[in-house]
Amino acid sequence: MAEEGAQKATGKIKSVVLILSGKGGVGKSTVASQIALELANGGNKVGILDVDLCGPSIPRVLGLEDKDVHQCADGWIPVYADKNEKLAVMSIGFLLRNSKDAVVWRGPKKNAMIKQFLSDVVWGDLDYLIIDTPPGTSDEHITVAENVRGLNLTGAVMVTTPQAVALGDVRREITFCKKVGIPIVGIVENMSGYTCPNCSECTNIFSKGGGEALAQLTQVPFLGCLPLDPKLTMSIEDGKSFTELYSESPTALAIREIIRPLITS
């Protein structure tokens, strides 16, 4: 049954994109949501699947914290982030009673949940399915890698911050992708420099350029830098689309640059 379900649910998805990073807190969920919003703004039908079961941030990042998932005869109906139903979202956050509930699960239970997410969600026709992952190279990642085989997998976008400590973990994640056969779309360097809103001086709080160097070292395309932008954080907190509000800001331009290879492929 489950196999059949997977076939049914995923046959309509044109492109699956994974958002990965070995390191936590580098902005995977932020990058995933911005990519999804920008793709949806461009007229595509987009889904976001949050497989970070112990720390689901997608509902918060998209301002959907108190929404519920409904069940219909075919499966779970995702939560829509907009009125036109261009952006569908599924996360374990919607299934918890309140935001303080902790999901203290070992691997097998997490794997079963992810399989259910991949097979039982009624996405409808999608142009893109963006899968946001937790940090690491463990149960969630292996399960996703196993279960996206046979789908139209475009590849993985690696998110990193410029510090050497983060780059070390992302390098391991690249090895993971190569081992399990997930193509890599490219590397995004997040939190790359901070422009002070008062004096316009740019400070490289977490240094700069590490992502590009890593891309060269591992021979993976480099997709671009996203600066630390307080406006982005604020628009996320307000649940507004950053790329619409500040469509000409350097950060919005950088986001558009990052999704280019996803559109053309």
Partner 1 sequence: MADVPTNAPIECPGTQSQQAGKVSACNGCANQQLCASGASLPPDPAIEIIKQRLQTVKHKLLILSGKGGVGKSSFTAHLARGLATNEDEDIAILDIDLCGPSIPRIMGVEGHQVFQSMSGWSPVFVEDNLSIMSIGFLLSGPADAVIWRGPKKNGLIKQFLRDVNWGELDYLLIDTPPGTSDEHISIAQYLKGAGVDGAIVITTPQTESQIFPPTTGGGRQMAIDMDVPFIGKIPLDPRIGKCCDEGISYFSEVPDSPATKAYKNIIEEIRKFCASKPANDASEVEN
Q: Which residues bind partner 1 (CB under 8 A)?
A: 22-26, 53-55, 102-108, 110, 134-139, 141-142, 161, 163-166, 168-169, 171-176, 179-180, 194, 196-197, 203-207, 218, 228, 230, 233-234, 237
Nearer to partner 1, 134 or 224 (CB): 134
| 150 assigned ligand-binding residue | no
Minimum separation from the CB atom of position 125 to partner 1 (A): 33
| 25 assigned ligand-binding residue | yes
Nearer to partner 1, 61 or 88 (CB): 61
Backbone angles phi, psi at 135, to 5 degrees: -70, 155
Q: Could you tell me which of 255, 235, 186 has the C-alpha nearest to residue 34?
A: 255
Minimum separation from the CB atom of position 194 to partner 1 (A): 6
| 14 assigned ligand-binding residue | no
Handedness of CA 96, 79, 264, 154 (dihedral sign): positive
Minimum separation from the CB atom of position 12 to partner 1 (A): 30
Nearer to partner 1, 111 or 243 (CB): 111
| 57 assigned ligand-binding residue | no
Nearer to partner 1, 83 or 100 (CB): 100
Nearer to partner 1, 90 or 166 (CB): 166
Q: Number of C-alpha atoms within 13 angstroms, CB side, residue 52?
A: 25
| 28 assigned ligand-binding residue | yes
Minimum separation from the CB atom of position 260 to partner 1 (A): 27
Minimum separation from the CB atom of position 258 to partner 1 (A): 20
Q: Are 249 and 32 in contact (CB under 8 A)?
A: no
Q: Which residues are annotated as a binding site for [4Fe-4S] cluster?
A: 196, 199
Q: Which residues are annotated as a binding site for ATP?
A: 22-29
Q: Which residues are annotated as a binding site?
A: 22-29, 196, 199
